[in-house]
Amino acid sequence: MSRRQVFGSLCAMVFLVNLARIVFAPLVVPLEAEFGVTASTLGIITGLTWFGSAIPRFPVGYLLTKISRETMVLVSGGILVGASLFTALAPSFSVALAGQTLTLSPVGSLMIGAFSLGTASGAYFLSANPLLSQLFPERVGRVMGVHGAASQFAAVLAAPIVVAVLAFADWRTTFYLLAAVSAVATLVTFLVGRETESADRTPDRDIVGAARTQWRLIVTGIAFVALTGLVWNGVFNFYVKYLIEAKSLSDPAANTLLTVLFAAGIPAFVVGGDLVERLPKVPFIIGISTTFALSLLALSATSGFLALAAVSVVVGFVIHTLFPAADTYMLSSTPDHQRASTYAVFSGTMMLPQAFGSVVFGALLDTGIAWDPLVAGAAGVVLVAMGVLFALYQAGLLPEQARRAEQSPAPTCTTEPSDD
């Protein structure tokens, strides 16, 4: 099997793991109607997918010092199948705990399912991204961009898939379908990977040592994406609700603009991955977050379907250039023998504040704050943070790459996804 086939199977897997993280956003309204939950509870449910994606990354990073990245990709597929089935069932059951009987409601089961779906995505990204950077070392930005675009198709199709399913069945069917397709994709990935020479040859066995050596790079990467990601998480998880309640759009129109928001990210992943290879990485990434904040200010002041559609394109395009740029900054800057461990520490840490995005937005909404001031205020916080980071960059305090003393010779493989 060629590396191109491995790349293709990973693109299928990333579509599914990202769909699992995104699918709760278009399900917010049906879940609210069925269970009668508050905005805070909805924020917790959607946020748990991101907590699930963040919290296991440290133990997964440690496991990757013991097992191959290919094996962990398959494990993530198995978790995805099981979590999808559990979420579809959303059972109510009782367990004995410390002599007490604890009853778990369907909403509690949804929370467990959301966390588990996030766990599958966290395990996948932590193993697949360093694997791809090693398979294609001279085009890390392009590979991260194309791989990210594949994941973004899931975000684009999430709302249409949910709408189509709800036209014929209930919300549970969405997760049954996700489980079935994930099982097939995991099997295909196993068959392809079994016949492919492993690319995981570089010893990366000291996650603590990598963190100590590359801490400045890790802290800088976290500063670039954590706050911006928190705001983005809160915005997109409540986007449909925001447009209905603050912009007076209908449910179908709001779901359409959610699709537009994510569709703009497909070319953005490729563009972001290409540009970060050609431009100074640090100012480019700061510029992305600054532009994102300005686009949110425009969103808060906009009304009317066509105007909102135009702003949604800008917001979606800009924010989705950030993710391949940040991944490329970390993966292309780090030596082979510390790449996976450095990325594990960065990825696990920066995901935690992002996971609070929908929780924070939901809690603020329950206090009575209006939508537009909330979005504008969040944008203002991001602008201030980016101003501070730019000042630090001008002072020479933000690294462009890993410590040179720790770098090892680059791999000689020059294969690109399209050349196999």
What would the pLDDT profile of 355-387 be if each residue is shown by its tens digit?
788 889 988 988 989 999 999 999 999 999 999
Compute the chain's Rg from CA coordinates. 21
Q: Which CATH class is domain 3-97+104-197+205-403?
A: mainly alpha
Helical ranges in 214-304 per DSSP H: 215-237, 239-247, 251-263, 265-278, 281-300
* Among the ranges given (21-25, 174-178, 222-226, 287-291), the one the predictor scored with the smallest mean pLDDT: 21-25
- Helix extents (H) in 55-105: 57-63, 69-89
Please give the residue that has the higher pLDDT: either 286 or 366.
286
Residues found in the chain: 420
Are residues 314 and 257 in contact, defined by beta-carbon separation less than 8 angstroms?
no
> Which of 159-173, 190-204, 283-297 bottoms out in mean pLDDT, i.e. has the lowest?
190-204
Q: What amino acid occupies position 129?
A: N
C-alpha span between 217 and 223 (Å, rounded) = 10
- 307 membership: H or E segment, kind and range: helix 305-333
At 361, phi and psi to the nearest 5? -60, -45
Fill in the amino acid letter for 282: V
Q: pLDDT-based confidence at 407, cuts 50/70/90?
A: very low
The percentage of the chain sitting over the pLDDT mark of 70, rounded to a whole number, equals: 89
What is the overall mean pLDDT for the chain? 85
Q: Which two tokens stand for residue 262?
A: 């994510």
Question: Whole-model pTM?
Answer: 0.77
The pLDDT of residue 411 is 39
DSSP 8-state secondary structure symbol assigned to residue 301:
T
- pLDDT exceeds cutoff 70 at 194: no
Least confident of 108-117, 123-132, 226-235, 327-336: 327-336
Question: What are the domain boundaries of the chain?
Answer: 3-97+104-197+205-403
Q: According to DSSP H, which parts of 36-68 are helical?
A: 39-54, 57-63
pLDDT band at 93, cuts 50/70/90?
Answer: low
Cα torsion 193, 194, 198, 203 to 10°: value is: 100
Mean pLDDT of 306-329: 94
Q: What type of residue is 152? A: Q
CA dist list (Å): 197 to 70, 214, 346, 372: 11, 30, 28, 53
What is the structure's pLDDT at 101? 62
**pLDDT at position 419:** 42
Per the model's pLDDT, the better-predicted residue between 71 and 319 turns out to be 319
Mean pLDDT of 23-43: 81
Q: pLDDT tens, 157-185?
A: 888 898 899 889 888 899 999 999 999 99
Assess whether pLDDT exceeds 70 at residue 213. Answer: yes
For 156, residues 6+ apart whose C-beta sits below 8 A from its C-beta are: 259, 262, 263, 265, 266
Angle, CA of 16, 171 and 239, to the nearest 5° = 75
Q: Return d(Cα 100, Cα 79) in angstroms, integer.
A: 29
pLDDT for residue 409 is more than 60: no
Write down the residue that tokens 């809690």 correspond to: 363
Which range is least confidently modeled, 51-55, 85-89, 122-126?
51-55
Nearest of 73, 51, 184, 199 to residue 135 by alpha carbon: 199
In this predicted structure, the answer to whether residue 51 has a pLDDT above a threshold of 70 is: yes
95 pLDDT tier (thresholds 50, 70, 90): low
Query: 147: pLDDT confidence band, cut at 50, 70 and 90?
Result: very high
The letter for the amino acid at 306 is: L
* Residue whose structure tokens are 């594990």: 344
